[in-house]
Amino acid sequence: MPECAFATKTNRMKKLLLLFCMMLYMHASAQTETSSTLPEVSSPFESITLFPNPTSEIIFIRNGDLIDSYTIFNLQGQEVQHGIKNAQIISLIDLPIGYYFIELKIGETSKRMKIQKY
C-alpha cells in the first residue's frame, strides 16, 4: 500500500512539473511575440549629453561629433546662435544670463533641450 501512495505522489509531481514547464514555455513565447511585434526604436540622441548645465560660459556636448547642426533660441523663440558639424564645445560667452533652448539636428531628426547660463 505505501508503494501505491508513493506512485500517486510521483505522478502528481510529474503532472505539476509538466504543467509548470508548459506555463513557462507559453510565457516565453508571449514575450518573444511581444518583442518581435514591437521593435525597439533607438534615438540617435540617446548617447548625446550636454554638460555642465547650468553653465557660466561653455557647454560641452558628449558625442557632439554626431550632430549636423545646432541652434540656440531665447525664451521668445528668437534664434540667438547657431553652428554646424562636430559641435562638441559651444561658447555662450556672448549670451546674457538666462534660460535658452538648444536644438540639435542629426539628419532629419531634431531634439530641443533647455540650458541655463548664469
pLDDT digits (tens, 9 = 90+) for 60-113: 998 888 899 999 999 999 999 999 987 789 999 999 999 999 999 999 999 999
Confidence of residue 10 (pLDDT cuts 50, 70, 90): low
pLDDT for the residue numbered 101? 98
Q: Please tell me the pTM assigned to this model.
A: 0.64
Whether the pLDDT of residue 31 is over 90: the answer is: no
3-state secondary structure of 41: coil
**H/E element, 90:** strand 89-91
Phi/psi of residue 87, each to 5°? Answer: -80, 95
pLDDT at 33: 46
d(CA 105, CA 87): 11
pLDDT at 54: 96
The domain spans of the chain are 1-40, 49-117
Helix (H) or strand (E) holding 31: helix 2-37
More confident residue, 115 or 66: 115
Query: What pLDDT sits at residue 86?
Result: 77
Fold of 49-117: Immunoglobulin-like (2.60.40)
The dihedral region occupied by 59, where left means phi > 0, alpha psi between -120 and 50, and beta the remainder, is beta
